[in-house]
């Protein structure tokens, strides 16, 4: 193994769906060789906290996403892109990284552009069936595109398709081997003998899902259904909840949460649908309705079309969510079919396979990165 550290710059953040796949790949690379990592991101979002927790240096960038034609932030976007790109170029000239790993958020564009200008190999991670704007723009810069869905190819430039490798969406190692149900339930004070629903809206929560769940807590209790409910930090649940409703702002131990539940209600970000396939948990998916490219609906359809999930649009949530949940929880045979469908889609080794592809690519493009 080459003893010199691999120097990697990473562009990821805003949400866990962008951040955690990149971290999963880096962790697998670090199992094969030492690596020094600098993560570029928004200083006010979760990546600023998560990066040092994983031993990565953090470098803030001022660029923000496009907020629509009426937003002053949108008019400033060209200037912040130029400023951020110059900052990344300065870092590249100083630290001479071997690789830029871009996970698809708005931070990716200036990092990928700077890397391309400095002739640093770019690897893109595409977690969605419909690529986001940043990945569509940076696809032409990427030497390798790690994809979760075959469907993404038809939305990328023709020149980039040859560089796509569909290995699945990299997920956290902890989710590839769950604890048993009793252990998972004990982590949250749940009764493992009761039907259990896991509800979450991603790392930032989902107000529409929270509102429907809040209105139904007494009904769940009367039906003998436990609910493990991640609300996000911005939602305040009722002060008095039935004993079977377990409410928490953020779940750190998702492996135990998945192990404890029979089914899931959640958004359909790329990372989430990949996790659902690996842990094989039937789900009701509620695509985030304000996503710029509607990518979450494409992700949800991919699981629904294969029989592993049911998709409900945000506008229909109040009418359809509870009857759908009760029907699925009350039908063991249907859940078994959904579980089997998810198992056929699972890519538990996606992070490992992505890391191997990246190191293989570097070995052919940069002799200093090759194993000795």
Is 258 part of a structural domain of the chain?
A: yes
Give the per-residue pLDDT at 13: 78
Is 1 part of a structural domain of the chain?
A: no
What confidence tens digit (pLDDT) does each residue in 237-251 have?
A: 888 999 999 999 989
Q: Are residues 193 and 339 in the same domain?
A: yes
Average pLDDT (282-304) is 91
Reported as a pLDDT band with limits 50, 70 and 90, residue 233 is: confident
The domain that holds 292 is classified in CATH as 3.40.50.2000
Looking at every residue in the chain, the average pLDDT score rounds to 90
Give the per-residue pLDDT at 370: 55
Average pLDDT (257-281) is 95
Distance CA(356)–CA(335), nearest Å, equals 35
Give the per-residue pLDDT at 206: 87
Between 18 and 3, residue with greater pLDDT: 18
Residue 65 has pLDDT above 80, yes or no: no
Give the per-residue pLDDT at 59: 95
Q: Are residues 309 and 215 in the same domain?
A: yes
Distance CA(286)–CA(206), nearest Å, equals 10
Q: Are residues 187 and 142 in the same domain?
A: no
Q: Are residues 291 and 272 in the same domain?
A: yes
Q: Are residues 364 and 287 in the same domain?
A: no
What confidence tens digit (pLDDT) does each residue in 93-149 have?
A: 999 999 999 997 788 999 999 999 999 999 999 998 889 888 899 999 999 999 998
Of 2-6, 16-20, 25-29, 81-85, where does mean pLDDT reach its minimum? 2-6
Q: Are residues 179 and 253 in the same domain?
A: yes
Is 22 part of a structural domain of the chain?
A: yes
Q: Are residues 96 and 124 in the same domain?
A: yes
Reported as a pLDDT band with limits 50, 70 and 90, residue 76 is: low
Average pLDDT (323-352) is 97
Average pLDDT (60-78) is 59
Between 17 and 240, residue with greater pLDDT: 240
Question: Can you give the pTM of this predicted structure?
Answer: 0.83
Is 71 part of a structural domain of the chain?
A: yes
Q: How many domains does the chain have?
A: 2
Given a contact cutoff of 8 angstroms between Cβ atoms, the answer to whether 57 and 41 are in contact is no
Give the per-residue pLDDT at 368: 57
What confidence tens digit (pLDDT) does each residue in 299-316 have?
A: 999 999 999 999 999 999
Residue 205 has pLDDT above 90, yes or no: no
Give the per-residue pLDDT at 68: 46
Average pLDDT (36-51) is 92
Of 174-178, 210-214, 363-367, where does mean pLDDT reach its minimum? 363-367
Is 141 part of a structural domain of the chain?
A: yes
Reported as a pLDDT band with limits 50, 70 and 90, residue 273 is: very high
Q: Which two tokens stand for residue 20?
A: 């955690």
Distance CA(298)–CA(314), nearest Å, equals 14
Q: Which two tokens stand for residue 330?
A: 């009350």
As a three-state string, the secondary structure of the chain is: CCCCCEEEEEECCCCHHHHHHHHHHHHHHHHHCCEEEEEEECCCCCHHHHHHHCCCEEEECCCCCCCCCCCHHHHHHHHHHHHHHHHHHHHHHHHCCCEEEECCCCCHHHHHHHHHHCCCCEEEEECCCCCCHHHHHHHHHCCEEEECCHHHHHHCCHHHHCCEEECCCCCCHHHHCCCCHHHHHHCCCCCCCCCEEEECCCCCCCHHHHHHHHHCHHHHHHCCCEEEEECCCCCCCCCCCCCCEEEECCCCCHHHHHHHCCEEEECCCHHHHHHHHHHCCCEEECCCCCCCCCHHHHHHHHHHHCCCEEECCHHHHHHHHHHHHHHHHCCHHHHHHHHHHHHHHCCCCHHHHHHHHHHHHHHHHCHHHCCC
Q: Are residues 307 and 273 in the same domain?
A: yes
Reported as a pLDDT band with limits 50, 70 and 90, residue 67 is: very low
Give the per-residue pLDDT at 45: 86
Give the per-residue pLDDT at 46: 87
Residue 266 has pLDDT above 80, yes or no: yes
Give the per-residue pLDDT at 340: 98
* Residue range(s) defining the domain that contains residue 70: 6-171+348-369
Q: Are residues 206 and 302 in the same domain?
A: yes
Q: How far is CA 167 from the centre of its chain?
A: 15
Is 193 part of a structural domain of the chain?
A: yes
Q: Are residues 163 and 245 in the same domain?
A: no
Q: Are residues 112 and 140 in the same domain?
A: yes
Q: Are residues 160 and 237 in the same domain?
A: no
């Amino acid at each position: 193994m080459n003893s010199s550290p691999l120097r990697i710059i990473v562009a990821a953040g805003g949400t866990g769906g962008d951040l955690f796949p990149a971290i999963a790949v880096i962790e697998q690379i670090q199992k094969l060789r030492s690596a020094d990592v600098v993560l570029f991101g928004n200083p006010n979002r979760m990546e600023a906290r998560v990066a040092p927790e994983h031993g990565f240096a953090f470098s803030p960038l001022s660029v923000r996403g496009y907020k629509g034609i009426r937003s002053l932030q949108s008019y400033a976007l060209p200037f912040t892109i130029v400023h951020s790109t110059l900052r990344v170029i300065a870092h590249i000239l100083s630290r001479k990284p071997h690789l830029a790993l871009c996970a698809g958020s708005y931070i990716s564009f200036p990092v990928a552009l700077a890397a391309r200008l400095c002739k640093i190999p770019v690897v893109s991670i595409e977690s969605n069936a419909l690529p986001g704007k940043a990945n569509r723009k940076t696809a032409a810069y990427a030497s390798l595109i790690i994809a979760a869905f075959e469907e993404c190819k038809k939305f990328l430039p023709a020149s980039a398709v040859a560089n796509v490798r569909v290995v699945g969406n990299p997920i956290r190692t902890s989710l590839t081997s769950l604890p048993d149900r009793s252990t998972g339930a004990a982590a949250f004070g749940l009764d493992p003998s009761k039907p259990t629903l896991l509800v979450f809206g991603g790392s930032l929560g989902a107000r529409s899902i929270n509102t429907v769940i809040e209105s139904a807590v007494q009904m769940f209790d009367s039906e003998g259904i436990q609910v493990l409910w991640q609300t996000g930090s911005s939602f305040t649940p009722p002060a008095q909840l039935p004993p079977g409703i377990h409410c928490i702002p953020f779940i750190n131990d998702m492996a135990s949460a998945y192990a404890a539940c029979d089914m899931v209600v959640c958004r359909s970000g790329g990372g989430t649908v990949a996790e659902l396939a690996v842990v094989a948990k039937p789900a009701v998916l509620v695509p985030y309705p304000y996503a710029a490219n509607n990518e979450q609906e494409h992700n949800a359809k991919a699981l629904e079309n294969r029989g592993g999930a049911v998709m409900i649009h945000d506008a229909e949530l109040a009418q359809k969510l509870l009857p759908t949940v009760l029907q699925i929880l009350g039908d063991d045979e249907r859940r078994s079919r959904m579980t089997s469908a998810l198992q056929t889609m699972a890519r538990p080794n996606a992070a490992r396979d992505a890391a191997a592809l990246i190191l293989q690519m570097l070995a052919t493009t940069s002799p200093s990165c090759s194993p000795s």
